[in-house]
């Protein structure tokens, strides 16, 4: 079973060496694709240097800061070409600790998409989050869950593992959102296609080095994405059985059964 971890980077020079080292040291023999957007701090060059030392690491270079969503898509395409069976996505700043990678990836034995989740029992964030940030994060999640009827508890988490068939069947180039709202749209599309989710608790840590790239503008865009998708959900409503129902998905989770359908039908999103 080939596992490929995609790490989008923009100015992550101080984190990358340790992160790559820890992932490569995991027993699962994971492969890594770093997707760098010509980081001014030289992260791309560092990734190339690390790739020379380890053949399980590959690097995609893009000409400038093109956004998190398209970085994931570029990584997905390369991972599929490289015959990955499952594809993990995680941040470069240690907010997603590499020690959780095996557990997140293992979820795909029972469901289509695994999530390293802050919002299931045992999960959470490290101490430094003040009440305002906690409230913002929780309410953004609840808003997206309710508006889009999402099953998962952590809908904005970037720590995920997708089975190969999920990425093959989603028309990646038709995903409209870029940036952080990509995560919400991707989850919504997966659920519409009848794919199931599993969550394992993680402790989300503050970034080890460097600065966050999320802006206020990204938060507005994420809200817009939720409203846009909620509208399309209303307009393009189809009988639930075509997509798999929420109840069926929950049942799959409870009984930890492998879903029986191979590749569900694609709806018009």
Ligand X SMILES: Nc1nc2c(ncn2[C@@H]2O[C@H](COP(=O)(O)OP(=O)(O)O)[C@@H](O)[C@H]2O)c(=O)[nH]1
Q: In what order do the strands lie in the sheet with 160-163?
A: 57-61, 31-36, 3-9, 86-89, 160-163, 113-117, 197-201
| CA within 13 Å, CB half, 91 | 24
Decide if residue 68 touches ligand X (CB under 6 A).
Answer: yes
Contact positions with ligand X (CB under 6 A) in 21-60: 35-37
| 199 three-state secondary structure | strand
Contacts of 252 (CB under 8 A, 6+ apart): 110, 111, 196, 259
Decide if residue 109 touches ligand X (CB under 6 A).
Answer: no
Contact positions with ligand X (CB under 6 A) in 120-179: none
Q: From the list 56, 61, 208, 213, which residue makes contact with ligand X (rule: CB under 6 A)?
A: 213
Residue 208 contact partner, candidates Mg ion, ligand X, none, CB within 5 to 8 A by sort of partner: none
Q: From the list 12, 37, 93, 199, which residue makes contact with Mg ion (rule: CB under 5 A)?
A: 93
Can you tell me the distance from the alpha carbon of 2 to that of 163, in angstroms, rounded to the nearest whole number? 11
Can you tell me the distance from the alpha carbon of 73 to that of 170, in angstroms, rounded to the nearest whole number? 11
Decide if residue 207 touches Mg ion (CB under 5 A).
Answer: yes
- Closest CB to ligand X among residues 212, 261: 212
Stretch in the footprint of ligand X (CB under 6 A) among 8-16, 79-87, 110-118, 167-175: 8-16
Q: Report yes or no: 159 and 115 within 8 Å, Cβ to Cβ.
A: yes
Residues that bind ligand X (CB under 6 A): 8-10, 12, 35-37, 65, 67-68, 71, 91-93, 95, 207, 212-214
């Amino acid at each position: 079973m080939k596992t490929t971890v995609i790490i989008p980077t923009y100015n992550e020079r101080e984190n990358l060496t340790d992160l790559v080292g820890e992932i490569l040291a995991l027993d699962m023999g994971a492969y890594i694709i770093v997707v760098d957007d010509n980081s001014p701090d030289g992260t791309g060059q560092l990734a190339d240097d690390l790739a020379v030392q380890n053949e399980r690491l590959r690097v995609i270079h893009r000409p400038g800061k093109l956004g998190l969503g398209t970085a994931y898509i570029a990584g997905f395409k390369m991972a599929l070409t490289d015959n990955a069976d499952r594809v993990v996505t995680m941040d470069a700043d240690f907010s997603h600790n590499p020690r959780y990678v095996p557990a997140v990836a293992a979820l795909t034995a029972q469901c289509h998409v695994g999530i390293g989740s802050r919002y299931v029992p045992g999960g959470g964030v490290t101490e430094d989050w003040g009440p305002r940030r906690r409230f913002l994060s929780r309410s953004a999640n609840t808003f997206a869950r309710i508006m889009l009827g999402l099953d998962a508890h952590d809908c904005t988490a970037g720590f995920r593992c997708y089975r190969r068939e999920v990425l093959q069947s989603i028309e990646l180039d038709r995903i409209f959102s870029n940036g952080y709202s990509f995560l919400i749209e991707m989850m919504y599309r997966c659920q519409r296609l009848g794919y199931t989710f599993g969550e394992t608790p993680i402790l989300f840590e503050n970034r080890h080095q460097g600065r966050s790239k999320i802006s206020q503008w990204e938060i507005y865009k994420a809200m817009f994405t939720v409203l846009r998708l909620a509208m399309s959900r209303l307009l393009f409503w189809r009988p639930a059985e075509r997509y798999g129902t929420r109840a069926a998905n929950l049942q799959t989770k409870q009984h930890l059964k492998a879903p029986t359908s191979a590749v569900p039908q694609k709806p018009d999103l």
